[in-house]
Chain A
């Protein structure tokens, strides 16, 4: 009644929206890196918004299903196959007992997600089911998945209405260059005018120091007025720190709660998924927007999710035809 891990891939963990409410005590939030792909994966199988999924990185896992369930695969394209046949992405898929779901390495993007209609059975620790690897809590035994791990399902849920309508257009993941919209601050005043111009007008390269904690970028030097050390303060998802070496570091899901470098800006929530799906040597640029614009974008995205929900809940043709048939037959019985 669940999934068996045949191959774990590079870094596969159980994640949800993160463990909030404990940052004041030093707990990282953790949670998914790409919130958008996560939400779409859950949406496709009518899961609650914060239902845990599997997140995998650069090389995907191979999983054996030991019971029937419905899944959806979103995020980067890792060439998924089911029993050797190509599997669709951004689509609800009925998995049968014994099916083998296999992923290769990331063709587009760098992180993938699988949602399960039968819900992964991992304990809730401090309000969340996500894996915090540093503190070894949550998720599956507080760690990344290994071969032979066996995750059970919490419920039996093998039916979803409008099954054939449950498909969405995959998000674009392999643009040459992405522009990340940022809200300047809270410590942008510590940088020179020139430094801020450099930050907003240059292309930065994603280095290989890119993990769930953060992403180091390489590119033109961002000048500060008099150093960029501050008395340690709180960090949020998408904070852009610029230490004295003048290159930005963007802090992500597994970030430490506090840090001692000035933060020139914060990436807009809706654009963090674009960053976390980049690969080493990809380019990013920054564009300043106001906090109001950033919040508007976030609300627009919510509306977009509502639209997606409507799309997948539309009675499909096959169902309509059934009804038509039924209507015709009914007259015979009246």
Chain B
């Protein structure tokens, strides 16, 4: 992997470039760096935006100036994050596929030349790396959708897609964190709130973590929905060796 480069981004930000290709290793390295910087609690850093291949750091120059910050970051970037110790953190997202929860399931199946069952099996059979969050609060940019179920976006986007809808847009899949317009093909819905402004931690997941979609029946969906409403639902999280 190329050596990270620290670039100037104005008087209150620096951009660390880790590469110029979308690769899971690059993304893992960025997630590890974010973690490391958080642990170091460098005074003056106010926010971080990890993306596919870069990390933007916002800082307050009244607290730390450019040179001392860059020096600290350079020494942090020398620390090798050993891959063996890393754990994959996987969030299980229950999804009720098809029917009224996934009105475009037939479009996806037809486009793929597969049955709906096969589409569900393919979609729920792998863990998706969260490369980054952006666009909307908690909107996940997931990597690794099986090519067989890539489906072009709808020609006419919907004016309103309900929060929790799971869809496919081209080569990407994801969950709508809040009601919003959108052009993705809707294949199902989760009762889990990936974004809840009133929760202590409003956004459920972080870049560098994984999502696993687990098919559930409508009955289970309604039960989980009830539990979410009562605040008793716990999302299942797996920790696995990377």
Is this pair of chains taken from one and the same complex?
yes
Asked if A22 is at the interface (CB within 8 A of a chain B CB), the reply is yes
Q: In the complex, what's the smallest C-beta–C-beta distance from A29 to chain B, in angstroms? A: 8
Which residue on B lies nearest to A240, using beta carbons? B10
Asked if B206 is at the interface (CB within 8 A of a chain A CB), the reply is yes
> Do residues A24 and B47 form an inter-chain contact, with CB atoms below 8 A?
yes
Compute how far the CA of A25 lies from the CA of B50 in the bound complex, rounded to whole angstroms. Answer: 9
> Do residues A231 and B53 form an inter-chain contact, with CB atoms below 8 A?
yes
Complex interface residues of chain B between 1 and 38 (CB less than 8 A to chain A): 7-13, 15, 17, 20-22, 34
The answer to whether residues A233 and B15 also contact, given A21-B46, A295-B65, A295-B66 and a CB cut-off of 8 A, is: yes
> Do residues A135 and B137 form an inter-chain contact, with CB atoms below 8 A?
yes
Asked if B136 is at the interface (CB within 8 A of a chain A CB), the reply is yes
Q: In the complex, what's the smallest C-beta–C-beta distance from B136 to chain A, in angstroms? A: 6
> Do residues B136 and A26 form an inter-chain contact, with CB atoms below 8 A?
yes
Asked if B134 is at the interface (CB within 8 A of a chain A CB), the reply is yes
The answer to whether residues A231 and B202 also contact, given A26-B139, A295-B11 and a CB cut-off of 8 A, is: no
Asked if B107 is at the interface (CB within 8 A of a chain A CB), the reply is no
Asked if A54 is at the interface (CB within 8 A of a chain B CB), the reply is no
Compute how far the CA of A23 lies from the CA of B136 in the bound complex, rounded to whole angstroms. Answer: 10
**Chain B residues with CB below 8 A from A292, complex form:** 66
Asked if A256 is at the interface (CB within 8 A of a chain B CB), the reply is yes
Asked if B61 is at the interface (CB within 8 A of a chain A CB), the reply is yes
Q: Which of A97-105, A198-206, A263-271 contacts B (4 or more CB under 8 A)?
A: A263-271
**Chain A residues with CB below 8 A from B22, complex form:** 231
**Chain A residues with CB below 8 A from B139, complex form:** 26
> Do residues B10 and A268 form an inter-chain contact, with CB atoms below 8 A?
yes
Q: In the complex, what's the smallest C-beta–C-beta distance from B203 to chain A, in angstroms? A: 4
> Do residues B10 and A183 form an inter-chain contact, with CB atoms below 8 A?
yes
Asked if A48 is at the interface (CB within 8 A of a chain B CB), the reply is no
**Chain A residues with CB below 8 A from B197, complex form:** 125-126, 135, 137
Of the candidates A25, A184, A236, A263, which one forms a contact with B12 in the assembled complex, judged by CB atoms under 8 Å apart? A236
Of the candidates B10, B134, B138, which one forms a contact with A239 in the assembled complex, judged by CB atoms under 8 Å apart? B10
Annotate A82-113 by CB proximity to B: 1 below 8 A, 0 otherwise: 00000000000000000000000000000000
**Chain B residues with CB below 8 A from A185, complex form:** 7-9
Interface size class of B (residues with CB under 8 A): 35 or more
> Do residues B178 and A266 form an inter-chain contact, with CB atoms below 8 A?
no
The answer to whether residues A233 and B52 also contact, given A24-B207, A26-B133 and a CB cut-off of 8 A, is: yes
Complex interface residues of chain B between 104 and 131 (CB less than 8 A to chain A): none
Complex interface residues of chain B between 54 and 72 (CB less than 8 A to chain A): 54-56, 58, 61-62, 65-66
Q: In the complex, what's the smallest C-beta–C-beta distance from B148 to chain A, in angstroms? A: 25
Complex interface residues of chain A between 256 and 307 (CB less than 8 A to chain B): 256-258, 263, 266-269, 291-292, 294-295, 297-299, 302
Which residue on A lies nearest to B203, using beta carbons? A25
**Chain B residues with CB below 8 A from A294, complex form:** 10-11
Asked if A161 is at the interface (CB within 8 A of a chain B CB), the reply is no
Of the candidates A134, A239, A299, which one forms a contact with B9 in the assembled complex, judged by CB atoms under 8 Å apart? A239
The answer to whether residues A24 and B48 also contact, given A126-B197, A135-B136, A268-B10 and a CB cut-off of 8 A, is: yes
Complex interface residues of chain A between 15 and 32 (CB less than 8 A to chain B): 20-27, 29
Asked if B51 is at the interface (CB within 8 A of a chain A CB), the reply is yes
Compute how far the CA of A100 lies from the CA of B51 in the bound complex, rounded to whole angstroms. Answer: 48
Annotate B133-162 by CB proximity to A: 1 below 8 A, 0 otherwise: 111111100000000000000000000000
Q: In the complex, what's the smallest C-beta–C-beta distance from B28 to chain A, in angstroms? A: 15
> Do residues A236 and B56 form an inter-chain contact, with CB atoms below 8 A?
yes
Compute how far the CA of A229 lies from the CA of B57 in the bound complex, rounded to whole angstroms. Answer: 21
Asked if A238 is at the interface (CB within 8 A of a chain B CB), the reply is yes
**Chain B residues with CB below 8 A from A26, complex form:** 133-139, 177, 203
Which residue on A lies nearest to B177, using beta carbons? A26
Q: In the complex, what's the smallest C-beta–C-beta distance from A286 to chain B, in angstroms? A: 13
Of the candidates A126, A231, A232, A236, which one forms a contact with B10 in the assembled complex, judged by CB atoms under 8 Å apart? A236
**Chain B residues with CB below 8 A from A268, complex form:** 10-11
Compute how far the CA of A126 lies from the CA of B46 in the bound complex, rounded to whole angstroms. Answer: 14
Which residue on A lies nearest to B200, using beta carbons? A126
Of the listed residues B9, B135, B203, the one surrounded by the most CB atoms of chain A closer than 10 A to its CB is B9
Asked if B168 is at the interface (CB within 8 A of a chain A CB), the reply is no
Q: In the complex, what's the smallest C-beta–C-beta distance from B80 to chain A, in angstroms? A: 23
**Chain A residues with CB below 8 A from B13, complex form:** 234, 236, 266
**Chain B residues with CB below 8 A from A233, complex form:** 15, 49, 51-54, 56
> Do residues A299 and B62 form an inter-chain contact, with CB atoms below 8 A?
yes
Enumerate 27 A-B pairs (CB-CB under 8 Å) in ascending A order.
Answer: A20-B46, A21-B47, A23-B49, A24-B48, A24-B133, A25-B133, A27-B137, A135-B137, A185-B7, A186-B8, A186-B17, A231-B21, A231-B51, A231-B53, A231-B54, A232-B52, A234-B9, A236-B56, A237-B10, A256-B134, A258-B132, A266-B10, A291-B8, A291-B11, A291-B66, A295-B65, A297-B11
In the A-B complex, the 5 residue pairs with the smallest Cβ-Cβ separation, listed nearest first, are: A234-B56, A266-B10, A234-B49, A294-B11, A186-B7
Interface residues of A, Cβ cutoff 8 Å to B: 20-27, 29, 125-126, 134-135, 137, 183-187, 231-239, 256-258, 263, 266-269, 291-292, 294-295, 297-299, 302
